[in-house]
Amino acid sequence: MKRFFNNSSIKLKIGLWYMGIMILLVFSSLAIVFYISENIIHSSVRTYLKEVVNHRLDYLTIKNGEIIIDSNFDTMIQNVEIAIYDKDFKFLYGNSPNGFEMDNKKSKDDKIIIVRSHNQKWYVYNKMINLGNYGKVWIRGVMPNIGQSSAIETVIQISFIILPFFLILSAIGGYTITKNAFAPMEKITEIAEKINEGNDLSKRIHLENGADELHTLANTFDVMFDRLQKSFENEVQFTSDVSHELRTPITVILTQAEYGKEYINSLKEAQDSFKIIEKEAQKMSKLVSQLLTLSRMERGKQKLHLENIDLSELLEMSVETQISCAKSKNIKFITKIAPEVYANIDEMMIMRVFTNLISNAISYGKENGTITVELFSKGNSIIKISDDGIGIAKDQLDKIWLRFYQVDPSKNGDNSGLGLSMVKKIIELHNGKIFVKSELGKGTEVIIRFNIKEANLEGRNSRQTLKLKKSNKK
């Protein structure tokens, strides 16, 4: 039985529980009804029996020491038989039912008792009265229990006739309720099986409007399937992009290696060939390193080494490292960096953010242009890096954070297209926010917001960022 129950469907289990509870309720209700009915019937019988007997007292008088019984004294009234006895229960007048016997010692004044005699139950009421100089006498009323038992038996019979129909209706009702209640679950199961069989993540449950737990579950599954589909598509695209990005440097390395074996005749040619191989290998190494870092961040595995760092010094350092690259395009830096602005950050990660953003500004900035780097604090630390270069179209602004996306591939240089993806993830890991404003032909502005700790004793006693020797920012 236990095995059957455990292997049964939830609908069947609920249906069985429902029927069991209904059966229990029915039998409990019947028991209560029988108990109440019996008590009501017995109470009414007792009341009636007392009234009949007590009413007979009005027809008894004493005259010359004898009992005078009025002619209206009925000894038989609606199944109640009346008899008069002396104080020692010697019969004087009236009727006593056939087959009725009882022990008179059990008689009590003004009490109703139930006597079983000859397989029959009787209600017996004894009333003692004092008739003056005649003395005490008993008036007894006896009533059979046939009518009352019949009424209760009738109720029982009717109940057992109705009970099967009630159980059938309960079973139908339970089945209907569970079927309707679990219809969403069946659809959820159906869609999940189809997805599992065909690996088609585009299918959705799409239940009708509802606010119960199953509708919430279905909506949660749809959201999960959306995320899975998006993740799957991203992974497919990611694999394709990685293959594409790695194919070029691998091809160059193989080509140079084959060329070196067959055609290099001088040390200079060999050195040039090795330089190309080294450059492409470094590019591949950088790409793999970035992919690993980005993957760890996306999976929440990248640990931050947080310290209270002077952002002002770190941003100044980042600008210094890019000055030589900017000179190649005659780009000037304009810095507006507030001093001693502290934040709880991972120094190396944020250094990578600043370097990437400044490097992008140089790559996409125009010749003889300017790059403005700002840092100020107003409750939060705000960093702005802006250029006057080619800009970004509005329909491309949301795409720049995607892996391997490049606004203008011809200007990417050695960049892999992963820089901005990493930048966004790093900022998010620091609970910061990053925004981009851009207009074609006018330039781009990147805005970063951090929670900060203003320069104070805690900040001043923290590890300071390494200072580089500043050069002319031109």
pLDDT in tens, 380-417: 788 999 999 888 888 888 777 776 566 555 554 445 55
140, 247, 374, 429, 468 from 76: Cα distances, Å? 12, 119, 118, 101, 127
Domain that holds residue 20: 11-167
Query: In this structure, are 456 and 344 located in the same domain?
Result: yes
Query: In this structure, are 85 and 149 located in the same domain?
Result: yes
Does residue 343 fall inside a structural domain? yes
Query: In this structure, are 294 and 402 located in the same domain?
Result: no
Query: In this structure, are 312 and 397 located in the same domain?
Result: yes
> Per-residue pLDDT averaged across 179-204, rounded?
73
Query: In this structure, are 209 and 295 located in the same domain?
Result: yes
pLDDT band, very low/low/confident/very high, at 456 (cuts 50, 70, 90) = very low
Q: Which of 71-80, 265-274, 302-311 has the lowest mean pLDDT?
A: 265-274
> Per-residue pLDDT averaged across 246-258, rounded?
73
SS3 121: strand
Does residue 194 fall inside a structural domain? no
> Per-residue pLDDT averaged across 253-258, rounded?
76
Query: In this structure, are 94 and 128 located in the same domain?
Result: yes
Question: Quick one: pLDDT at residue 403?
Answer: 64
Question: Quick one: pLDDT at residue 8?
Answer: 57
Burial 146-175 (b: 16+ CB within 10 A, else e): eebeeeeeebeeebeeeeeeeeeebeeebb
Question: Quick one: pLDDT at residue 246?
Answer: 66
Q: Rounded to 5 degrees, what are φ and ψ at 335?
A: -110, 135
pLDDT band, very low/low/confident/very high, at 419 (cuts 50, 70, 90) = low
Per-residue pLDDT of 131-140, as tens digits, reads 877 788 888 8
Last residue of a domain, one of 276, 300, 324: 300
- Answer with the residue of higher pLDDT: 440 or 252: 440
Query: In this structure, are 73 and 131 located in the same domain?
Result: yes
Last residue of a domain, one of 260, 276, 300: 300
Question: Quick one: pLDDT at residue 455?
Answer: 34
pLDDT band, very low/low/confident/very high, at 370 (cuts 50, 70, 90) = very high
State how beta strands 66-69 and 60-63 pair.
antiparallel
> Long-range contacts for 389-398 (Cβ within 8 Å, ≥24 apart)?
389/361, 389/364, 389/365, 389/443, 389/444, 390/364, 390/366, 390/440, 390/441, 391/438, 391/439, 391/440, 391/441, 391/442, 391/443, 391/444, 392/436, 392/438, 392/440, 392/444, 393/440, 397/436, 397/438
Closest by Cα among 363, 351, 344 to 319:
351
Question: Quick one: pLDDT at residue 315?
Answer: 92
Task: Give the Cβ contact number of residue 35 at 10 Å.
Answer: 10
Does residue 469 fall inside a structural domain? no
Q: Which residues pair with 125 in a beta bridge?
A: 112, 141
Query: In this structure, are 245 and 333 located in the same domain?
Result: no
| CATH number for the domain that contains residue 241 | 1.10.287.130
State the Cα angle at 297 between 292 and 300, rounded to 5°.
125
State how beta strands 120-130 and 111-117 pair.
antiparallel
Q: Above 50 in pLDDT, residue 466? A: no
Question: Quick one: pLDDT at residue 460?
Answer: 40
- Answer with the residue of higher pLDDT: 211 or 445: 445
Question: Quick one: pLDDT at residue 335?
Answer: 92
Question: Quick one: pLDDT at residue 291?
Answer: 64
Query: In this structure, are 218 and 149 located in the same domain?
Result: no
- Average pLDDT over the chain reads 76
Does residue 466 fall inside a structural domain? no
Does residue 122 fall inside a structural domain? yes
Q: Which of 134-148, 180-194, 294-308 has the lowest mean pLDDT?
A: 294-308
If you compute the radius of gyration of the chain from its CA atoms, what whole number of angstroms results?
51
Per-residue pLDDT of 23-82, as tens digits, reads 787 778 777 777 777 677 778 888 888 888 888 887 877 777 777 877 778 888 888 889
Tokens 């500004």 found at: 361
Does residue 83 fall inside a structural domain? yes
Percent above pLDDT 70 for the chain? 75
Q: Above 50 in pLDDT, residue 244? A: yes
CB 350, CB 307: distance < 8 Å: no
Last residue of a domain, one of 249, 273, 300: 300
| CATH number for the domain that contains residue 355 | 3.30.565.10
Does residue 468 fall inside a structural domain? no
Tally of domains in the chain: 3
- Answer with the residue of higher pLDDT: 121 or 437: 437
Question: Quick one: pLDDT at residue 461?
Answer: 42
Alpha helices in 201-306 (DSSP H): 213-262, 267-298
Alpha-carbon gap, residue 106 to 313, rounded angstroms: 112
pLDDT band, very low/low/confident/very high, at 374 (cuts 50, 70, 90) = very high
**pTM for this structure?**
0.45
Q: Above 70 in pLDDT, residue 472? A: no
| Token reading at 306 | 């947080």
| Token reading at 215 | 């509708």
Question: Quick one: pLDDT at residue 107?
Answer: 81
Alpha-carbon gap, residue 321 to 339, rounded angstroms: 19
> Per-residue pLDDT averaged across 143-156, rounded?
67
Question: Quick one: pLDDT at residue 371?
Answer: 92
Does residue 467 fall inside a structural domain? no
Query: In this structure, are 44 and 97 located in the same domain?
Result: yes
Closest by Cα among 428, 470, 184, 440 to 315:
470
User: What single letter denotes the amino acid at residue 301?
Assistant: K
> Per-residue pLDDT averaged across 163-181, rounded?
75
Q: Above 80 in pLDDT, residue 16? A: no
| Token reading at 198 | 């065909």
| CATH number for the domain that contains residue 94 | 3.30.450
SS3 255: helix
Query: In this structure, are 149 and 16 located in the same domain?
Result: yes
Query: In this structure, are 394 and 408 located in the same domain?
Result: yes
pLDDT band, very low/low/confident/very high, at 454 (cuts 50, 70, 90) = very low
Q: Among 37-51, 188-202, 355-369, which range has the highest average pLDDT?
A: 355-369
